[in-house]
Amino acid sequence: MLLTSFPAGPLQANCYVVSRAPGTGCVLVDPGMDAMDGVHAVVREHNLTPAAVLVTHGHFDHMWCVQDVVREYGCEVWIHPADRHLLSDPMAAISGESAAMLRMQLGMTDVPEFAEPGDVRDAVDGAAIEVDGLTFTVDHVPGHTPGTVVYRIAYDGTEDVSELMFSGDFLFAGSIGRTDLTGGSHPQMLDSLRDRVLPLADDVVVLPGHGPQTSIGRERATNPFLAELTT
């Protein structure tokens, strides 16, 4: 398996590129703001063909460049139905006042016109997404947004790792996603953590939407939000 990533945009959201090997089709996870230069560099270096985009949730810093990717490569796009409307209106995920403040802070003087791409597919709970020999399993984990999902894939490398989990803004190293934005719910977040994280094996590697990678075992032992669920 070939896996690489790069942080993009003013909020440094991690964009991941996954493929079986150089010269094959690849999957892009969360191509957010200013991600296209990084996508071009990875695709060129490894001779890859983007075949699908997996969106963990509908916040702009994780899906801003989805339209650009689809326009250039003709990819299918996977997102949970509860966040699908954000593909055409990403600022609907935050209040008008917060959106105006964010535009000012990030220097977003011109917001592009957004529209839903032509081939959008529902990343519903339990779905198996197959792309050029790769199979991703979808877990619906509401809390950060109503349609937040994580994508898990079996890892076939030599390291002592059973799975990779692309967690978006659901689970971070030492923390979890915020729940105070539009559609967020802390009780739902705790339910998702209890039902979908705690049962996983310790050797699952967590690849979050921001910051460094971690593992389920490390988070089970050190993450204060998981600790309160096990006491």
**Residue 201: pLDDT above 60?**
yes
Residue 216 sits in a domain whose CATH number is 3.60.15.10
Mean pLDDT of 80-87: 95
Q: Which burial class, exposed, middle or buried, applies to 64 when counting CB atoms under 10 A from its CB (0-12, 13-18, 19+)? A: buried
Q: What is the mean pLDDT of the chain?
A: 91
Mean pLDDT of 125-150: 97
**Residue 95: pLDDT above 60?**
no
**Residue 105: pLDDT above 70?**
no
Using one digit for the tens of pLDDT, what is the confidence trace for 179-190? 988 889 999 999
With H, G, I as helix, E, B as strand and everything else as coil, classify residue 166.
Answer: strand
With contact defined as beta carbons under 8 Å apart, do 208 and 14 qualify?
yes
**Residue 119: pLDDT above 80?**
yes
Q: 159 falls in which pLDDT band (50, 70, 90)?
A: confident
Beta strands in 70-208 (DSSP E): 76-79, 120-122, 128-131, 134-140, 149-154, 163-168, 171-172, 175-176, 205-208
Domain that residue 120 falls in? 2-230
State how beta strands 175-176 and 128-131 pair. Answer: unpaired
The tally of domains found in the chain comes to: 1
Q: Which residue has 């996603």 as its token pair?
A: 177
Least confident stretch, 91-100, 149-158, 205-214: 91-100
With contact defined as beta carbons under 8 Å apart, do 39 and 28 qualify?
yes
Q: 96 falls in which pLDDT band (50, 70, 90)?
A: low
- What pLDDT score does 28 carry? 98
Please name the amino acid found at residue 193: L
**Residue 223: pLDDT above 80?**
yes
**Residue 104: pLDDT above 80?**
no
Q: Phi-psi region for residue 176, left (φ > 0), alpha (ψ -120 to 50) or beta?
A: beta
- What pLDDT score does 111 carry? 60
Least confident stretch, 24-38, 149-163, 213-227: 149-163
